[in-house]
Amino acid sequence: MVLKLAEKIVIVGGGQAGLQLTDSLRRGGFSGELMLVSEEESLPYHRPPLSKGFLTGDIPQAKLLFRPQEYYAKREIHVLLDHRVSSIDLAGQFLQLSSGDTLEYDALALATGARVRELPLNGADASNVHYLRSLSDTLRIQTQLAEAKRVVVIGGGFIGLEVAASATKMGKEVTCLEGADRLLGRVVSPFISDFYLSAHQSRGMKIVLNAKVDEFSQTNGQVDSVVCADGSQYAADLVVIGIGVIPNQELAESAGIVCDNGIVVDEFARTSATNVVATGDCTNHLNPYAQNRIRLESVQNAIDQSKTAASTLLGTLEPYNAVPWFWSDQFDLKLQIAGLSTGANHEVLRGRVDQDKFSLFYFRDEKLLAVDSVNSPADHMIGRKLLSGNCQLSPQQAADVDFDLKTLLK
Ligand code: FAD
C-alpha cells in the first residue's frame, strides 16, 4: 500500500495519539488542511491524572489540557468536538458523522483509542457504579467520592489500583477485589505483584485476591454491596470497575479495514486501506520488542506510533521501533516499566525492597528484556537506553549496586 501525499488530512479521535499527530504533522511541514474530530466535549487532555492527581483534587482541571485553544488556532488545526464519526466510505474518501454531515479526506488517521470493558452483571448500570476512561467519568466519580465512606474497586490492574490508592489517600475505606491470584498479573512478575500487595495493605487498603464478583446487591437503585461467588459481601457507597479496555476498531472494521484485537497496522502505521493510517491504543502492531503483534495501551505508544504515522503521511517511511515504557503512580510509589518482560526466564533484583526503592531486571538468558523500577527513575532511564541500544548488561552487573550502570552507555 502506497500513501498519496495528502492535501486534506482528517484525524478521528482527540486523545494522546490524535493530538500528537496534529503536532507531528505541522512540525513535519504539512501545510494542507488538518482536521481533528473527537466525540468528546473537551479539547484533547491527559488521561493519566484522571485516576491519580486529578481524582484526588491535587491537579486542577485546567492543567489536564495538552494544549490551549490558541495552539489549534495558530496552527490552523480545525477541531470538531462532540462529533462522532459513524462510518468511513473508503472508495469515496469521506466520513459520515453522526450529526448527518459528511467530511471528505485525502488521507485519514484513525486514533480512536479504547473503551472500558464492561462487567455484564445486573446493577452495573446503577448510578453509584462507575468505569473510568474519560474526564466526564472522573467528574462523576469525584462528586460521589466526596460523600462516600466505603469504596469497592473491582480490578487490581493499573487503573483499579490507582483509583483505590487515590481513594485511600482521601481517607476512604477501600476494598479492591481482584479476580486473579495476584495484582497486576498481566504485566509484572509475581515479585512485583507481591510487593504491591503488601505495599497497598500496609497503606490501609483491603485487597481480596481470587475474588469472583457475582452480584450487586441494590437498595433503591443504588448498589449497597458487592457479592462474590463464595458468598462474601463488601459494603459499598461507591463502586469503580477497572477490568481493562477494548480497542475501538468497529469504525475501521465496518469499512472493511483488517482488524484483529485492534486495527492491524504495519511498522509504518499503515492499515490495510489505501491512505489510511492508525495509531495508539486502537492498533495492533508488530512490535520489535515483543517480536510479535501486540496492542499497547500507553502514552509512550500513542506518542511514538503517531510520530511514525505522521512521517508516513508526509511521505517518509520510518519504521516504528521505540522502546515500550509505562508508569503508574500509587501512593508514594512510582512504578516505571521499560521494555516488555514476556519471555523472560529469570529476574535480577537491584536496590532495597525494604526501602521501596529497587528495580527488577528481566533477562532471557543473558539478554535484557525489561526493567521494572520502583522509585528508581535513574534505573528506568538507563534501562530504556540499554534496551534501545546494543549495550550488554550482564545479570551480575545488574545485581551489583556498586556497578555504575551509566558506564555501559558511554
Ligand atoms: P484515547 O485516549 O482513548 O483517545 C481516543 C479518542 O477517540 C477518545 O477521545 C474517543 O472518545 C475518540 N473516538 C473514538 N471513536 C471515535 C469516533 N468514531 N468519532 C470521534 N471520536 C472518536 N498510560 C501511561 O502510559 N501511564 C499512565 O499512568 C496511564 N494512566 C492512565 C490512567 C487512566 C485513568 C486512563 C484512562 C489511561 C491511562 N493511561 C496511562 C493510558 C493512556 O492514557 C492511553 O494509552 C492513551 O491515552 C491512549 O491514547 P489514544 O489517543 O490512543 O486513545
What is the pTM for the complete model shown? 0.97
pLDDT for residue 409: 84
Instruction: Provide the b/e sequence for 114-145 (b: ≥16 CB within 10 Å).
Output: bebeebebebbebebbbbbbbbebbebbeebb
Residue with cell 489540557: 65
Taking the centre of ligand 1 as the mean of its atom positions, its distance from the CA of residue 80, in whole angstroms, is 17
pLDDT for residue 245: 98
Taking the centre of ligand 1 as the mean of its atom positions, its distance from the CA of residue 371, in whole angstroms, is 24
Question: How far is residue 6's CA from residue 108's CA, in Å, rounded to a whole number?
Answer: 9
Question: How far is residue 386's CA from residue 381's CA, in Å, rounded to a whole number?
Answer: 9
**Percent of the chain with pLDDT strictly greater than 70:** 99
The string of pLDDT tens digits covering residues 233-246 is: 999 999 999 999 99
pLDDT for residue 190: 97
Contact (Cβ atoms closer than 8 angstroms) between residue 321 and residue 269? no
Question: How far is residue 161's CA from residue 330's CA, in Å, rounded to a whole number?
Answer: 7
Atom of ligand 1 nearest to the CA of 13: 7
The string of pLDDT tens digits covering residues 10-30 is: 999 999 999 999 999 999 999
How many CB atoms are closer than 10 A to CB 10? 25
Nearest to 292 by CA among 261, 249, 253: 261
Per-residue confidence at 391, pLDDT binned at 50, 70, 90? Answer: confident
Atom 6 of ligand 1, residue of closest alpha carbon: 13
pLDDT for residue 2: 43
> Which whole number is the average pLDDT over 300-329?
97
**Helix, coil or strand: residue 23:** helix
Question: How far is residue 350's CA from residue 12's CA, in Å, rounded to a whole number?
Answer: 43
Taking the centre of ligand 1 as the mean of its atom positions, its distance from the CA of residue 303, in whole angstroms, is 11
DSSP secondary structure of 247-272: E--HHHHHTT--BSSSEE--TT-B-S
Per-residue confidence at 112, pLDDT binned at 50, 70, 90? Answer: very high
Nearest to 340 by CA among 404, 388, 280: 388
Contact (Cβ atoms closer than 8 angstroms) between residue 131 and residue 121? no
The string of pLDDT tens digits covering residues 138-163 is: 999 999 999 999 999 999 999 999 99
Taking the centre of ligand 1 as the mean of its atom positions, its distance from the CA of residue 339, in whole angstroms, is 21
Taking the centre of ligand 1 as the mean of its atom positions, its distance from the CA of residue 112, in whole angstroms, is 8
Instruction: Provide the b/e sequence for 48-73 (b: ≥16 CB within 10 Å).
Output: bbbbbbbbbeebeeeebbbbeeebbe
pLDDT for residue 4: 55
Question: How far is residue 194's CA from residue 309's CA, in Å, rounded to a whole number?
Answer: 39
- In Å, how far are 92, 158, 159, 250, 370 from 124, measured between CA atoms? 41, 20, 18, 23, 37
- In Å, how far are 140, 159, 210, 369 from 305, measured between CA atoms? 31, 23, 36, 20
**Helix, coil or strand: residue 353:** helix
> Which whole number is the average pLDDT over 339-354?
96
Q: Where are the alpha helices (DSSP H) in 256-376?
A: 299-313
For 395, the enclosing helix (H) or strand (E) is helix 395-399
> Which whole number is the average pLDDT over 24-38?
97
**Helix, coil or strand: residue 354:** helix
For the sheet containing 213-219, what is the strand order? 213-219, 222-228, 233-235
Residue with cell 503517531: 306
**Mutate which of 22, 133, 136, 281 to test ligand 1's pocket (most atoms within 8 Å of Cβ)?**
281
Distance of CA 138 to the CA centre of its chain: 16
Atom of ligand 1 nearest to the CA of 20: 51
Question: Average pLDDT over the chain, rounded to whole?
Answer: 96
Rg (the chain; Cα; Å): 22
pLDDT for residue 1: 44
For 5, the enclosing helix (H) or strand (E) is none
Atom 52 of ligand 1, residue of closest alpha carbon: 280
> Which whole number is the average pLDDT over 349-376?
97
Atom of ligand 1 nearest to the CA of 296: 45
Pocket of ligand 1 (CB under 6 A): 12-18, 37-40, 47-48, 50-51, 84-85, 111-114, 132-133, 159, 248, 251, 280-281, 297-300, 302, 326-328
Contact (Cβ atoms closer than 8 angstroms) between residue 324 and residue 336? no
Atom of ligand 1 nearest to the CA of 280: 52
pLDDT for residue 5: 65
361, β-bridge pairs: 348, 371
> Which whole number is the average pLDDT over 26-40?
97
**Helix, coil or strand: residue 161:** helix
